[in-house]
Amino acid sequence: MTLQETISTDLKTALKAKDETVLGTLRLIKAEIQYELTKTGASELSDTAVMQILKTNYKRRKDTAVEYDKANRPDLSSKEIEEAEIISRYIPKEVSEEEINLAIGEAVVTLGAVGPQDMGKVMGNVMAKFKGQNIDGSKVSTLVKQALSAR
């Protein structure tokens, strides 16, 4: 079952269970998937494309929760966090820092990287290795900078 089908099935389950929070969150995700389908003209999105939609929505909700906390609105913040948790059910566990560091080490040796000027090559290699997995690009960037500045 594809990720898109799983979301549709869970949407129907939430509708039957009258779970308003899950239902509202999945409806928004489904609407964004439908928008992408309309834009591309495809009948179904790849799991990678759906995963990107999910990651974007997850990050958006986390950022919004932080802003609501700053504005002293814990009621709205908790709603955003709850929606982010619902979305996180569909996102695989994030690649660990150890795995990223190992991949960076391999990329540095393979590419013969000698300093910060090789950051783009190393970043491209590491991100390609984890394509389709849940990986934070800014975390990778920071770790690559650390590894290359130590050389």
25 plus 66 within the same structural domain: yes
Tell me how far apart the alpha carbons of residues 10 and 19 are, in angstroms, rounded to a whole number: 11
Rounded-to-integer distance, Cα 27 and Cα 12, Å: 10
Q: Do 7 and 41 belong to one domain?
A: yes
Both 55 and 110 in one domain: the answer is no
Number of domains in the chain: 2
List the one residue out of 103, 112, 105, 150 whose CA is nearest residue 131.
103
Domain that holds residue 43: 3-89
Task: Give yes or no: residues 19 and 66 share one domain.
Answer: yes
Q: What is the dihedral of CA 88, 36, 78, 13, to 10 degrees?
A: -70
How much is the pLDDT for 13?
A: 96
Q: pLDDT of 62-99, one tens digit each?
A: 999 999 999 999 999 999 999 999 999 999 888 899 99
Whether pLDDT at 48 is above 90: no
Q: In the predicted model, what is the mean pLDDT of residues 2-7?
A: 93
Helix (H) or strand (E) holding 119: helix 119-129
Per the listing, tokens 């908790």 go with 78
- What whole-number distance in Å separates Cα of residue 50 and Cα of residue 33? 7
Is there a single domain that holds both residue 28 and residue 84? yes
Same domain, 67 and 21: yes
Q: What gap in Å lies between CA 58 and CA 34, rounded to an integer?
A: 18
CATH number at residue 133: 1.10.10.410
Q: What is the CATH number of the domain that holds 12?
A: 1.10.1510.10
Q: What is the pTM of this model?
A: 0.72
How far apart are the C-alpha atoms of 82 and 121, rounded to whole Å? 38
- What are the tens digits of pLDDT across the range 107-144? 999 998 888 898 999 999 999 998 877 888 889 999 99
* Half-sphere CA count of 71, side-chain side, radius 13 A: 11
Q: Do 14 and 82 belong together in one domain? A: yes
How far apart CA 5 and CA 95 sit, in angstroms, is 24
- Predicted pLDDT at 99: 93
